[in-house]
Structure 1
Amino acid sequence: MNGEPVSVEVDPREHLADVLRDRLGLTGTHKACEQGACGACTVHLDGTPVLSCLLFAVQADNRSVTTVEGVGTTEDLAPIQRALSERHGLQCGFCTPGMIMQALDVVGRANGGLTPERVRHEMSGNLCRCTGYVSIVDAVLDAAAESSSVAAVPDNEPTQAEVSG
């Protein structure tokens, strides 16, 4: 769990989100729809974003789980956390942990640049009621540029994949 070994006995029917919040005190993982539609409960399982409200905790046995608590600290924010703050990509903050976890994956797979359209598509499973998404998209593009020196490509320019094929 967030790079540290953790052992907790769980009931086979308990969802990972419940165990994270109620048993391990990792309340950054938010529960909202509890049916996989909003993305607020997004965590990484072996480096891949998953919806922890749909995953049984037993499925995470002997696997690496990263929650928003494992991303950065107040003193050392991750690029996406810093960009969301600078771009005002968080307002009430409820969706922010899930947005951060999904954005980390998007940025990590950027390979050659992100367009605003691609970011909107990749982040479409994470709902926000406050921001209107423009600032979130801008923050993801900024984080990608900072994280990997990948320049954001304007909407009207094709990506390498579109040019090749």
Structure 2
Amino acid sequence: MSRRTISLKINGEDRRVEIEDNTLLLDMLRDRLGLKAARDGCSVGACGSCTVLLNGNPISSCLKLASTLPEGAEISTAEGLADGERLDPVQEAFLEEGAFQCAFCTSGMMLAVKALLAENSTPTDEEAKTYLNGHYCRCGSYPEILKAVRRLSGP
């Protein structure tokens, strides 16, 4: 298997990472960089637990080969949401609304909400549900997640 070094911006930091051609983005983040927020919930891109933002767009990192990323691509994970000890507004809203129980899906869900609000700052509940389709919360925190979206989008 051939190896290569790729240059990326991960959570705002320039990084050079050595990978094999068949390395999944999820595995690179978790195993090479120690970023554990994205999780492997299904390995087929159906659950949303592995969601990261690629140049601002949500993707399933369990389906993306790291070797196919363009040089300089920007990857955002849940670890990059907070600014030091100051939580991102999405994190604050999830916390205030209790939009998690076991928290397995929370990282992917928060990144999807961040991307949704970047596209549509005042989504209706139906628009939020449609955007979050494919993100599974096995604990059933969907009502609280929608409350968090409402809190972020204003009255």
TM-score (norm 2): 0.88
Q: 1:89 touches 1:131 (CA, 8 Å); kept in 2?
A: no
Name the structure 2 match of 1:17.
Answer: 26
Distance 1:143 1:131 in 2: 20
Match of 2:126 among 114, 117, 125: 117
Match of 1:131 among 133, 137, 140: 140
Query: 1:75-154 maps to which residues of 2 (within 5 A)?
Result: 75-111=85-121, 113-145=122-154, 151=155
Q: 2:53 touches 2:77 (CA, 8 Å); kept in 1?
A: yes
Choose 1 or 2 for highest CA Rg: 1
**How far is 1:73 from its partner?**
4.5
Distance 2:42 2:79 in 1: 21
Q: 2:47 touches 2:134 (CA, 8 Å); kept in 1?
A: yes
**CA displacement 1:14-68 (0-9 Å, x = unmatched):** 1000000001000011111010000001101111111100000112242111111
Distance 1:13 1:125 in 2: 25
Match of 1:34 among 43, 56, 81: 43
**Aligned residues, how many?**
145
Name the structure 1 match of 2:5.
Answer: none
Distance 2:108 2:39 in 1: 8
Gaps of 5+ in 1: 146-150, 152-165
**4+ aligned runs moved over 4 Å, structure 1:** none
Q: SS in structure 2 opposite 1:75?
A: coil
**CA displacement 1:106-140 (0-9 Å, x = unmatched):** 111115x2111111111111100113401001101
Answer yes or no: is 1:62 the counterpart of 2:72. yes
**How far is 1:80 from its partner?**
1.1
Q: 1:116 touches 1:138 (CA, 8 Å); kept in 2?
A: no
* Larger strand percent: 2
Gaps of 5+ in 2: 1-9
TM-score (norm 1): 0.83
Distance 2:57 2:106 in 1: 18
| Code of the aligned partner of 2:40 | K
Percent identical pairs in the alignment equals 38
Q: 1:80 touches 1:143 (CA, 8 Å); kept in 2?
A: yes
